[in-house]
Structure 1
Amino acid sequence: MEAEASQTSVREVAGDRVSTLPEDKKKPTPDVLELKERIQQLQTEAVEQLEQKLQQLVEEALRVAEVAATPPSPSHHLLYDDAKYRNRTLKLGFSTIFWNFGGLHIVMATWASMQLAVFALFIAFCHWASFRVSLPISGFQRQLLDNSALIVLIACKVGFLVLPVHVIQYNQLPPISVMILLCEQMRMIMKSYAFLRSQVPKVKMFKPHTDATDVLLPDFNHFVYFMFAPALVYRDSYPRTKEIRWKVALWHLTEVFGVIFFISFLFERSLVPMFRNFGKQQLSPKEMVVAIFGSMVPSLTVMLCVFYCILHAWMNAFAEITRFADRMFYKDWWNVNSYGAYYRNWNVVVHDWLYTYVYKDLSELLGGKRRTILAVFSLSAIVHEYILTFMFGFCYPMLFMAFEVFSVGLMFVSRDRLPGSNLLMWLLFTIGTGLLISLYMMEWFARRHCPRFIDSTWDFFVPRSWFCSPLTSE
């Protein structure tokens, strides 16, 4: 009996142990419970902190946007006009377009007068050539005729230069209208010079006993075609297409208007707001540097748009209308590794004219290659500065200095073998373009906000932005 009782107690104790083991495993220890509670608490705290951080970021963004919408002194919001800030007028560039193209009827009338003068020059050349052929080969009469024709030609060219400038000054034309008129003036001068440079030697070498007279005098219709064709080098014939693709021409003209609108939008939204208060209040060096560097990307975009508008859209439109088959108006200048290649590929039309009629003739007179290149760059710089001077209404030869000093020097330094030349060219092009546009815009607004400090004609040449708005220390 005692043995059975002992076995029963052992089984009961064993059973209790067996039955209690799963229960011990099922019940978590106090350390595990505390750990789980701590993890849940940390998760809750992390979510709360993240929500607070996002709320702070949203509030900060709203505060910055509110501050940016308030027009501060030198740099202010780029979408709204200062004077009409409460109305929040969105500026899309239309006002800039309408103002810059003001007086377009005067431009067209002056352009027609210049074109008629060029046609009169052609008629005068034909009379001079016919009369010269009838004179004896050797004698005083031909020399007198040639000298008289040269004097008349110089007088006509001087009048051709003075007339548009007088119209500009008298009517106070806006910048884009001035640019159109002066660019057309230069185009007609270059085309008429190319025609005379090509035909006058033929007349002088003409032999009446062996050469035909009808070959001597060019066709007037061909001369008219040359005046409107997108080419500056005169040829007796040009490659022509079979038909006019009017859809292509209309598309390129649409691109011209679209790019003009986009350039105006960039000026009103990104460039003008940075400098419109220049001269009204003093700037700190930090604000000046921020404004210049902030204008580099918009300035580069403007220059690329001008390139596309003129050398691609406009030239291809006129090439299609005139059935001009040679469409190489530019090459891949964006891939070049030197400034020399850049200037050869940027504007092939002007480069061919400079090489054919200026570089070749000056190389025979000056001899050295570098001196000839310097003379060609000087001529190009003078023409560019001439257009900008009357376009803005003041002489501020920053572009002339860029051509004469930096461009010529970089053209001789940045060779094709220099590693990283393409990246260096783009970097300098971006910085130089932004700096030039910033300087011209600062001088433009200084001329409108600052009083004259020199009451004479020297005010036209002395930069007012250097004296009227001195930098202040922060």
Structure 2
Amino acid sequence: METEASQTSVREVAGDRMSTLPEDKKKPVPDVLELKERIQQLQTEAVEQLEQKLQQLVEDALRVAEAPATPPSPSHHLLYDDVKYRNRRLKLGFSTIFWNFGGLHIVMATWTSMQLAVFALFIAFCHWASFRVSLPISGFQRQLLDNSALIVLIAFKVGFLVLPVHVIQYNQLPPISVMILLCEQMRMIMKSYAFLRSQVPKVKMFKPHTDATGVLLPDFNHFVYFMFAPALVYRESYPRTKQIRWKVALWHLTEVFGVIFFISFLFECSLVPMFRNFGKQQLSPKAMVVAIFGSMVPSLTVMLSVFYCILHAWMNAFAEITRFADRMFYKDWWNANSYRAYYRNWNVVVHDWLYTYVYKDLNELLGGKRRTLAVLAVFSLSAIVHEYIVTFMFGFCYPMLFIAFDVFSVGLMLVSRDRLPGSNLLMWLLFTIGTGLLTSLYMMEWFARRHCPQFIDSTWDFFVPRSWFCSPLTSE
């Protein structure tokens, strides 16, 4: 009992001492815990309120998207993108890819036939060279053989040009499939011409009594390598890498597919909505100008993407697979101070072929005194080939690309000089405007061909622009 009494007295004394402490020092630990709990509660409430606001904004946006909408005015029909296209269906470009690559099996079959025909040309050349060496040096037989071989070569080139076009027209292939087939056609023509241009003079200058016959005929394996290597100028040997880096090749091929997807996405989201109603309703001059200028940046993006896809990713992938060591497919054309430098650096592979087999030969033929004519011939040939591909790619003749290549580009190249003040900025400005204008013109003609009725004979309808007569401009 005495022990319990003593403990009670101790508690009382301790209680009296605690009661004499200041108010801010009585319960320090519970105050801190309560403050932390309050802060956590405020944070939770803030997050919940933010989620409610975001959910409300999303619901309001969906409600507005489902509401019917009308264009602001008839003058904006060209730029108007209806609710169904913009809000109810998100197009990522897959439908455009699947449609453009339709008939790929026909393209592959035709490509295989063309490649076999080029190999047959190599065999025919070897037979011609061997038979020519066995004939007397001076005589009518060699001349007859050369003339006959030239006639056969011309017939081969004509058939090589006509038959793929017939396949395209008969099967109504989509644009990208047509572009692949015709670009491969031009590549094979350029490579076969480069091979013949370098080997035929050697055969004609061959002397059987002094030269070794084994050096006369080229190796078939080297010819096959040349046909698949990313080069257009024929050489007896090419720099080679030691091994194939398959990871690098796979990465570049992945870039190719990624850029194709990106280009398709740009067309479906940025370019097609501007022009897909062309021919359905009349346009105002203001809407036309707004559409053309609105398509400049997407068109330039598409152009740069095509450049990266073909001249960087695709060429580097094949260079890695074929162990081709020379990877200079383009130079720093974006720093060019003139159109002359731009065309030299844009596509080094094609430029080297044109310089080696067209410009130099014409310059020697003209005696080196009329270089301007040689330059004009080079640009005319390039413009014709580009227009040929674009014509059958779209299915109509609309020579705006030919005019841009052979008129404006040549004029700008002859007028401008290197290292003019602001010339790089001027080049980029004209490049952007020209790309947007060409894209707008071709897309308007494309949709006019689908929305406007034919008003002229079917033969001339291929050459007469339907967009000029289908949807006239209206004054505001």
Give TM-score, length-normalised by structure 1: 0.84
Q: Is the 8 Å Cα contact of residues 279 and 451 (structure 2) preserved in structure 1?
A: yes
Q: How has the CA–CA distance of structure 1 residues 37 and 414 changed in structure 2, closer, same or farther, with 3 Å as cutoff?
A: farther
Q: Identify the range of structure 1 (322-331 vs 447-456) with the bigger mean alpha-carbon deviation.
A: 447-456
Q: Identify the range of structure 1 (319-328 vs 22-31) with the bigger mean alpha-carbon deviation.
A: 22-31
Q: Is the 8 Å Cα contact of residues 75 and 275 (structure 1) preserved in structure 2?
A: no
* Cα offset, 1:260, TM superposition: 0.2
* Cα offset, 1:456, TM superposition: 3.5
Q: Is the 8 Å Cα contact of residues 378 and 404 (structure 1) preserved in structure 2?
A: yes
* Cα offset, 1:370, TM superposition: 6.0
Q: How has the CA–CA distance of structure 1 residues 36 and 366 changed in structure 2, closer, same or farther, with 3 Å as cutoff?
A: same
* Cα offset, 1:473, TM superposition: 1.1
* Cα offset, 1:299, TM superposition: 0.1
Distance in 2, Cα, partners of 1:289 & 1:26: 79
Distance in 1, Cα, partners of 2:7 & 2:209: 153
* Cα offset, 1:88, TM superposition: 0.5
Find the counterpart in structure 2 of residue 444 from structure 1. 446
Distance in 2, Cα, partners of 1:199 & 1:209: 19
Q: Is the 8 Å Cα contact of residues 135 and 142 (structure 2) preserved in structure 1?
A: yes
Find the counterpart in structure 1 of residue 49 from structure 2. 49
Q: Is the 8 Å Cα contact of residues 278 and 445 (structure 1) preserved in structure 2?
A: yes
The runs of at least 4 aligned residues of structure 1 exceeding 4 Å deviation read: 1-87, 367-372
* Cα offset, 1:311, TM superposition: 0.1
**CA deviation profile, 1:331-373 (whole Å, cap 9, x unmatched):** 0000010000000000000000000000011112234666550
Q: Is the 8 Å Cα contact of residues 384 and 402 (structure 2) preserved in structure 1?
A: yes
Q: Is the 8 Å Cα contact of residues 74 and 278 (structure 1) preserved in structure 2?
A: no
Q: How has the CA–CA distance of structure 1 residues 229 and 15 changed in structure 2, closer, same or farther, with 3 Å as cutoff?
A: closer
**CA deviation profile, 1:36-67 (whole Å, cap 9, x unmatched):** 99999999999999999999999999999899
Q: How has the CA–CA distance of structure 1 residues 2 and 135 changed in structure 2, closer, same or farther, with 3 Å as cutoff?
A: closer
Q: How has the CA–CA distance of structure 1 residues 23 and 464 changed in structure 2, closer, same or farther, with 3 Å as cutoff?
A: same
* Cα offset, 1:241, TM superposition: 0.1
Q: Is the 8 Å Cα contact of residues 296 and 433 (structure 2) preserved in structure 1?
A: yes
**CA deviation profile, 1:407-466 (whole Å, cap 9, x unmatched):** 001001121132100000000000000000000000000000001110231111000000
Q: Is the 8 Å Cα contact of residues 331 and 345 (structure 1) preserved in structure 2?
A: yes
Alpha-carbon RMSD across the aligned residues, in angstroms, is 9.0
Q: How has the CA–CA distance of structure 1 residues 384 and 73 changed in structure 2, closer, same or farther, with 3 Å as cutoff?
A: farther
The total of aligned residue pairs comes to 474
Q: Is the 8 Å Cα contact of residues 75 and 283 (structure 2) preserved in structure 1?
A: no
Find the counterpart in structure 2 of residue 370 from structure 1. 370
Q: Identify the range of structure 1 (431-440 vs 38-47) with the bigger mean alpha-carbon deviation.
A: 38-47
Find the counterpart in structure 2 of residue 129 from structure 1. 129
**CA deviation profile, 1:180-214 (whole Å, cap 9, x unmatched):** 00000000000000000000000000011111111
Distance in 2, Cα, partners of 1:2 & 1:150: 136
Distance in 2, Cα, partners of 1:258 & 1:15: 79
* Cα offset, 1:23, TM superposition: 35
Distance in 2, Cα, partners of 1:416 & 1:304: 23
**Aligned-partner SS, 2:370:** helix
Q: Is the 8 Å Cα contact of residues 81 and 88 (structure 1) preserved in structure 2?
A: no
**CA deviation profile, 1:220-251 (whole Å, cap 9, x unmatched):** 00000000000000000000000000000000
* Cα offset, 1:328, TM superposition: 0.2
Distance in 2, Cα, partners of 1:7 & 1:173: 104
Q: Is the 8 Å Cα contact of residues 340 and 411 (structure 1) preserved in structure 2?
A: yes
**Aligned-partner SS, 2:68:** helix
Q: Is the 8 Å Cα contact of residues 315 and 329 (structure 1) preserved in structure 2?
A: yes
Q: Identify the range of structure 1 (278-287 vs 360-369) with the bigger mean alpha-carbon deviation.
A: 360-369
Distance in 2, Cα, partners of 1:384 & 1:423: 26
Q: How has the CA–CA distance of structure 1 residues 423 and 216 changed in structure 2, closer, same or farther, with 3 Å as cutoff?
A: same
Q: Is residue 2:361 matched to residue 1:361?
A: yes
Q: Is the 8 Å Cα contact of residues 75 and 274 (structure 1) preserved in structure 2?
A: no
**Aligned-partner SS, 1:260:** helix
Q: How has the CA–CA distance of structure 1 residues 87 and 50 changed in structure 2, closer, same or farther, with 3 Å as cutoff?
A: closer
Q: Is the 8 Å Cα contact of residues 253 and 313 (structure 2) preserved in structure 1?
A: yes
* Cα offset, 1:28, TM superposition: 42
Q: Identify the range of structure 1 (372-381 vs 73-82) with the bigger mean alpha-carbon deviation.
A: 73-82
Q: Is the 8 Å Cα contact of residues 92 and 268 (structure 2) preserved in structure 1?
A: yes
Q: How has the CA–CA distance of structure 1 residues 75 and 63 changed in structure 2, closer, same or farther, with 3 Å as cutoff?
A: farther
Q: Is the 8 Å Cα contact of residues 249 and 320 (structure 1) preserved in structure 2?
A: yes
Q: How has the CA–CA distance of structure 1 residues 131 and 281 changed in structure 2, closer, same or farther, with 3 Å as cutoff?
A: same
Q: Is the 8 Å Cα contact of residues 442 and 465 (structure 1) preserved in structure 2?
A: yes
* Cα offset, 1:17, TM superposition: 50
Q: How has the CA–CA distance of structure 1 residues 404 and 30 changed in structure 2, closer, same or farther, with 3 Å as cutoff?
A: same
Distance in 2, Cα, partners of 1:163 & 1:217: 29
Q: How has the CA–CA distance of structure 1 residues 403 and 17 changed in structure 2, closer, same or farther, with 3 Å as cutoff?
A: same
**CA deviation profile, 1:136-192 (whole Å, cap 9, x unmatched):** 000000000000000000000000000100000000000000000000000000000
* Cα offset, 1:7, TM superposition: 70
Q: Is the 8 Å Cα contact of residues 392 and 444 (structure 1) preserved in structure 2?
A: yes
Distance in 1, Cα, partners of 2:386 & 2:4: 124
**Aligned-partner SS, 1:419:** coil
Q: Identify the range of structure 1 (130-139 vs 2-11) with the bigger mean alpha-carbon deviation.
A: 2-11
Q: Identify the range of structure 1 (9-18 vs 46-55) with the bigger mean alpha-carbon deviation.
A: 9-18
Q: Identify the range of structure 1 (252-261 vs 54-63) with the bigger mean alpha-carbon deviation.
A: 54-63
Q: How has the CA–CA distance of structure 1 residues 376 and 31 changed in structure 2, closer, same or farther, with 3 Å as cutoff?
A: same
Distance in 1, Cα, partners of 2:288 & 2:151: 52
Q: Is the 8 Å Cα contact of residues 75 and 291 (structure 1) preserved in structure 2?
A: no
**Aligned-partner SS, 1:85:** helix
Distance in 2, Cα, partners of 1:253 & 1:229: 16
Q: Is the 8 Å Cα contact of residues 75 and 273 (structure 1) preserved in structure 2?
A: no
* Cα offset, 1:275, TM superposition: 0.1
Q: How has the CA–CA distance of structure 1 residues 444 and 73 changed in structure 2, closer, same or farther, with 3 Å as cutoff?
A: farther
Q: Is the 8 Å Cα contact of residues 339 and 411 (structure 1) preserved in structure 2?
A: yes
Q: How has the CA–CA distance of structure 1 residues 68 and 359 changed in structure 2, closer, same or farther, with 3 Å as cutoff?
A: farther
Q: How has the CA–CA distance of structure 1 residues 88 and 327 changed in structure 2, closer, same or farther, with 3 Å as cutoff?
A: same
* Cα offset, 1:118, TM superposition: 0.1
Q: Identify the range of structure 1 (278-287 vs 32-41) with the bigger mean alpha-carbon deviation.
A: 32-41
Q: Identify the range of structure 1 (67-76 vs 169-178) with the bigger mean alpha-carbon deviation.
A: 67-76
Q: How has the CA–CA distance of structure 1 residues 50 and 296 changed in structure 2, closer, same or farther, with 3 Å as cutoff?
A: same
Q: Is the 8 Å Cα contact of residues 238 and 324 (structure 1) preserved in structure 2?
A: yes
Percent of residue pairs bearing the same amino acid type: 95
Q: Is the 8 Å Cα contact of residues 279 and 471 (structure 2) preserved in structure 1?
A: yes
Q: How has the CA–CA distance of structure 1 residues 219 and 458 changed in structure 2, closer, same or farther, with 3 Å as cutoff?
A: same
Q: Identify the range of structure 1 (33-42 vs 117-126) with the bigger mean alpha-carbon deviation.
A: 33-42
Q: Is the 8 Å Cα contact of residues 80 and 88 (structure 1) preserved in structure 2?
A: no
